[in-house]
Chain A
Amino acid sequence: MSFISMEFLLFLFIAVVVYYLLPQKGQWIWLLICSYLFYLSSGIKVTLFLVVTTISTFGVGLLLEQEDFRLKQILKQKNGNLTAEEKKMYKDKSKCRKKWLLAGALVFNFGILAVLKYWNFAIDNWNILFHTEYNHVNFLLPLGISFYTFQSMGYLIDVYRKKYVPEHNLFRFALFVSYFPQLLQGPIGRFDRLSHQFFEKHTFELMRIERGLQLMLWGFFKKMVLADRAAVLVNQVFQNYEEYSGIAIIAAVLGYSLQLYADFSGGMDVVMGASECFHIKLDQNFKQPYFAVSISDFWHRWHITLGTWMKDYVFYPLSLSKGMNRFGKFTKKYFGKHVGRVLPVCISNLVIFFLVGVWHGAAWKFIAYGLYNGIIIAFSNLAAPLYQKAIAFFHIPVKSKPWVVFQIVRTFLLVNIGWYFDMGISFSAALVMMRQTLTGFSLSALTDGSLFVLGLSVSDYAVLLLGSAVIFFVSLLKEHKISVRESISKKPLVIRWALYGILMFSIPLLGQVAVVQGGFIYAQF
């Protein structure tokens, strides 16, 4: 069931009405039923994968807790009769058992994800390397598998680290994994921030529903009016890249900047708005990413929950590992304090961005996309002392507005170069497009009408420019800590509903329904 459908709106309406008619104890059970009905609408077989991940994660969570309990019992029984070495031995043995349990669950669940998503990619590479002709396998790809797998494994690692006690009720845990607004495209939730909200008492408040619908409407506007319209231009140029050069490619890349942001952040608005109707607050996934002043800053603002997942569960363990520690000491000894301090972090970052690339899809172009980001961050970290010296030498006022604007524009440019890999049909196509952008550059494309044969008319471009201006203005206010949503909520009823009316009617009037009617890009992960 797509979020952009009358079925979904009807489903959400019934779900919300029944939710507030039920007593507190029944509300979370109803949410669980709705979540499974929602997922079952995509097929029974794929639902089995969701069930397997839920049960295996839940079970191993309990086993980890049992192991902690067992150790505590042993230490209690032998209280006072153990030397420090013996105590350490018991602790090490227990830790070792916990590690095996965790590793088993991680390999099993990420194994499912890896096989379903990356098997055919592996086959392609194997065939090229060893001149074999193995065929592709048509696997079912459960919707949102990356999101619910990451969310579940995050929970398990937290339980392993004793951040919180595991959930003891399978059905309660199943709701955490399958909560339907966030199931298909995130945000990747954390158990300690999300789960308790399901079991609190939620009473009906009209204002809350209004605010939820308001956010959903904004998301639909971004997706249907802007993202789907920009997609026409983007698809035309990226899929027929040999035919285009210069400004046509630049227009398509800028169009992709708008498309991807409006699609993903619009999807998040729909998800968060729908969840707000149930009085469940989800983690933020976006924070005005195109106002970032560096690539590192960009990744703190774009798909935030994936970034924090990678930081907590991959970056820290890798950076704090004994091997990395030794490597840091080695580099400090031979290459100086700065390199010793920064290089291990750069390497961990490269691993993270390799994984982020792989997460985006099974293709080398995505790996290139990830590494491109990782390399820029590594380079800027390593070159930081030189950069500081240059800043001091040229007396650049780093806090001045022009300098901040320069940094924002520079970062936006670097982000757009990355989109060549992300959206290009292959790694080599991305490189060809980069070359053609430079070699075929001519300002005459702006006046000879060639931009108007890319699938969009003058009025389409006008809608995109106007829509981008609206998004830019809203983001600018948010960047200055002014919430447009709060301001609208404080306006009189007539003004509020007039604004909603304009937004609501703009979607069927301006929405790109006929030409491109795609699902959300990130729902494919």
Chain B
Amino acid sequence: MEELMEILEEIKPDVDFAVCDTLIDDGILDSFDILNIVSELNDAFDIEITPVDIVPENFNSAKALWEMVKRLQED
């Protein structure tokens, strides 16, 4: 989780990822951020996030992102 938080803060330093759970719903992350996050997570955790996974439920909070990473690592 720490590594994930570091990646997120590097991409979007002005967002409090520890508390925000409306990253997509409130338009805090734009499409460029999402693609950046996907690409960084794929590299860092050796997973493959596919377009099917790119849905608001998986990107609305750091916790949801972490759940997705864990699920894809187990797959």
Contact = CB atoms under 8 A, between A and B. Distances in A.
Given A341-B36, A345-B31, A345-B32, A316 B54 contact: yes
Interface residues on B, range: 10 to 19
Contact of A320 (B32, B33, B49): B49
B19 interface: no
B38 interface: yes
Given A325-B42, A325-B43, A320 B35 contact: yes
A136 interface: no
Interface string B20-53: 0000000000011101101100110000011110
Contacts of B49: 320
A312 B51 contact: yes
Contacts of A158: 52
Contact of B52 (A161, A324, A325, A328): A161
Contact of B42 (A161, A162, A320, A344): A320
A317 interface: yes
Contact of B32 (A163, A317, A342): A342
Given A312-B51, A342-B32, 10 more contacts: A161-B50, A162-B52, A317-B51, A319-B35, A320-B38, A320-B51, A324-B39, A325-B42, A325-B43, A345-B35
B52 A163 contact: yes
Contacts of A345: 31-32, 35
A161 B51 contact: yes
Nearest to A163: B52
A163 B42 CA distance: 19
Contacts of A316: 50-51, 54
Q: Do most interface residues of chain B lie in helix, strand or loop, or is the interface mixed?
A: helix
* Interface of A (DSSP majority class): helix
Contacts, number: 34
Contacts of B50: 161, 316
A1 to B, nearest CB: 37
Interface string A332-356: 0000000001101100000000000
A341 B51 CA distance: 19
Interface of A: 158, 161-163, 312-313, 316-317, 319-320, 324-325, 328, 341-342, 344-345, 381
Among A312, A316, A342, the one with the most B-chain Cβ atoms within 10 Å of its Cβ is A316
5 contacts: A161-B50, A161-B51, A324-B39, A325-B39, A342-B32
Given A161-B51, A162-B52, A316-B51, A341 B39 contact: no
| Most B Cβ at <10 Å: residue of A320, A324, A342, A381 | A320
Contacts of B36: 328, 341
Contacts of B38: 320
Contacts of B52: 158, 161-163
Contacts of A344: 35
B41 to A, nearest CB: 11
A161 B49 CA distance: 11
A381 B35 CA distance: 14
Contacts of A342: 32
Contacts of B35: 319-320, 344-345
Contacts of A319: 35
Nearest to B33: A341
Nearest to B39: A325
A228 B35 CA distance: 43
A324 B32 CA distance: 13
A328 B39 contact: yes
Name the 10 nearest CB pairs between A and B, nearest first. Answer: A316-B51, A161-B52, A325-B39, A163-B52, A341-B32, A161-B50, A319-B35, A312-B51, A341-B36, A320-B38
Nearest to A342: B32
Nearest to A346: B32
Nearest to B48: A320
- A162, A341, A342: which has the most chain B beta carbons within 10 Å? A341
B37 to A, nearest CB: 11
Contacts of A163: 52
B8 to A, nearest CB: 14
Nearest to A88: B46
A66 to B, nearest CB: 19
A87 to B, nearest CB: 11
A161 B75 CA distance: 13
B36, B43, B49 interface centre (most CB from chain A within 10 Å): B36
A382 B31 CA distance: 14
Contacts of A341: 32-33, 36
Nearest to A384: B32
Contacts of A324: 39
Contacts of A320: 35, 38-39, 42, 49, 51
A332 B50 CA distance: 23
A161 B48 CA distance: 11
A161 B31 CA distance: 21
A43 B38 CA distance: 47
A364 B49 CA distance: 36
A71 to B, nearest CB: 11
A341 B36 CA distance: 7
A317 B54 CA distance: 12
